[in-house]
Amino acid sequence: MKLSRLLSTLFAVAVGLAGVALVLYAWRLPPFATSIETTEDAYVRGQVTVISPQLAGTVVEVPVQDYESVAEGQLIARIDDRIFSQRLAQARATLAGQRAQLANSQQGRRSAEAKVKASEAAIASAQSAFDTSEANYARIAPLASKGFVPGSDLDVATRTRDQAAAALDQAKAALEVSRQDLQTVIVARQSLEAGVEGAEAAVRLAEIDLANTRILAPKSGRLGEIGVKLGQFVQAGTQLTSLVPSTVWVVANFKETQLPGMTVGQPVHFTVDALAARTLTGRIERFAPATGSEFAVLRPDNATGNFTKVAQRLPVRIAIDPGQPGASELVPGMSVVVRLDTAADAAPPAVAGN
C-alpha cells in the first residue's frame, strides 16, 4: 500500500516536472533558452510590375503568351497607331509652316533695316539742302536790306529755306517710322520663334504618343497571365499583364520578442515548401522601419478600455545567397520557414537587392 502511494506520488511529480519543462521549452526559458529563432510567417518577394498602356486605342498585336520569358525592350502588345501617325504628320506640317513664317520674318527684318538706312540717307540729303538754302538766305538777306538786290530774290531764298527745313523734318519723321517698323518686325519675330518652339514641342509629344503605341518590357523577366486580347479597346492604365524580374528576396515577419541579437549581415537558413523543404541560405539585409500593424489599412486603436498586449511582428528583408541550387526556382509568393542564430557573427550582405 505504501509502495503504491509512493509510486503515485513519484508519477505525479514526474508529470508536473514534465509539464513545467514543456512550458519552459515552449517559451524558451532557462534552461531551454536558445539563440536560434525561427518563423513560418515568411515569403519570397519580388518586383512585380504591372504593365499598362499610357494611351487609349485598339490592340492590334499581342506577340507574347502567358508566363513567357521576355527580354528588356521586347514587344508585349501594340495599339493601332494610324491616328497617332497622322497626328505626328500634322504636327510636323505645322512646324514647317511656323519655320517658314520665321524665315519670312527674317527677310522682312532685312527689308526694314534697309528702309532705315534709306531714311538715314534721306535725312543727310535733306540736311545738305537745308544748309545750302540757309547759307543762301544768309547772303541775300543783308543785301536786300540795303537795296542791292530785289526783294523778290529775298522771298525766293526765304521760301527755299523753309521748304528745305520742312523736307528735313519730313525725312526725320520717315526715319522714325522706319525704326518703328523695324521694331515691329523684331517683336513679331519673337512671337514667331515662340510659335516654332511650341510646334517643335507638339512634334515631340506626337512622337512620344506614337512610340507609346508599342508596349515594351521595361526589363527582362517572366510575364504573368496575359489579360489583353487582340482587338480589345484599352484605356490608359488598363492592366495588360504583369512582369516578374528574376531578382527575388525573402521577407520574414519576426515577433518583436525574437529581434534581440539580430543584426544586418547575419546568416540565415530557410526551407521552401515548394522545393520539397530544400534548405537555402541568405543574410539579413535590412529591417522594416515599422511593424506590420503600422502599415495596415485599418490600424488598431489601443486607446480603449480593454487592452491585451500582443507581440507585434517586424518584417525583416533577407538577401538570398547567389549560385546555390534551387535559388533560380524561387518565385514571389512562395512560403518559406526561416531559421537564424542571433549569436552568429554578422557580415556584409552577399546580395544587394533593389
CATH label of the domain that carries residue 107? 1.10.287
In this structure, the answer to whether residues 177 and 231 fall within a common structural domain is no
Which of 211, 227, 255 is the last residue before a domain boundary?
211
Looking up cell 547567389 gives 322
Q: Which among 83, 35, 36 has a CA at the least distance from the CA of 58?
A: 83
Q: What is the pLDDT of residues 6-40, one digit of tens each?
A: 777 777 777 777 776 676 655 555 665 567 888 99
Q: Would you state the pLDDT for residue 354? A: 45
In this structure, the answer to whether residues 74 and 101 fall within a common structural domain is no
For the sheet containing 57-61, what is the strand order?
214-216, 75-79, 57-61, 233-234
CA distance 203 to 92: 6
In this structure, the answer to whether residues 184 and 164 fall within a common structural domain is yes
In this structure, the answer to whether residues 190 and 92 fall within a common structural domain is yes
Has this prediction a pTM greater than 0.85? no
Query: What element of type H or E holds 320?
Result: strand 313-320
Radius of gyration of the chain (CA): 46
CA 235-240-241 angle, 5° bins: 160
Q: Would you state the pLDDT for residue 23? A: 65
In this structure, the answer to whether residues 234 and 276 fall within a common structural domain is no
Q: Is residue 19 part of a domain?
A: no
In this structure, the answer to whether residues 275 and 227 fall within a common structural domain is no
CA distance 88 to 254: 56
Query: What element of type H or E holds 294?
Result: none
Q: Would you state the pLDDT for residue 233? A: 94
Q: Is residue 62 part of a domain?
A: yes
For residue 194, give the amino acid letter: A
In this structure, the answer to whether residues 168 and 104 fall within a common structural domain is yes
Q: Would you state the pLDDT for residue 50? A: 93
In this structure, the answer to whether residues 43 and 116 fall within a common structural domain is no
In this structure, the answer to whether residues 308 and 276 fall within a common structural domain is yes
Number of folded domains that form the chain = 3
Burial of 76 (0-12, 13-18, 19+ CB in 10 A): buried
CA distance 353 to 105: 58
Q: Is residue 22 part of a domain?
A: no
Q: Is residue 3 part of a domain?
A: no
With a cut of 50, list the residues of the chain below it in pLDDT: 349-354
DSSP, res 28: T
CA distance 179 to 165: 21
Q: Looking at residue 228, which CATH number applies to its domain?
A: 2.40.50.100
Give φ, ψ of 85 to 5 degrees. -65, -40
Q: What is the pLDDT of residues 178-231, one digit of tens each?
A: 777 767 767 667 778 888 899 999 999 999 999 999 999 999 999 999 999 999
Q: Is residue 177 part of a domain?
A: yes
CA distance 77 to 64: 8
Q: Among positive and negative, which fits the CA dihedral 282, 283, 285, 288?
A: positive
Listed in sequence order, the DSSP H helices in the chain are 2-26, 82-145, 151-211
Q: Looking at residue 299, which CATH number applies to its domain?
A: 2.40.30.170
* Cell (9 digits) for 292: 506590420
Q: In terms of residue numbers, what domain contains 184?
A: 82-211
In this structure, the answer to whether residues 63 and 111 fall within a common structural domain is no
In this structure, the answer to whether residues 75 and 86 fall within a common structural domain is no
Q: In whole numbers, what is the pLDDT of the chain averaged over residues?
A: 82
118 to each of 72, 171, 239, how far by Cα in Å? 66, 10, 69
Q: Is residue 7 part of a domain?
A: no
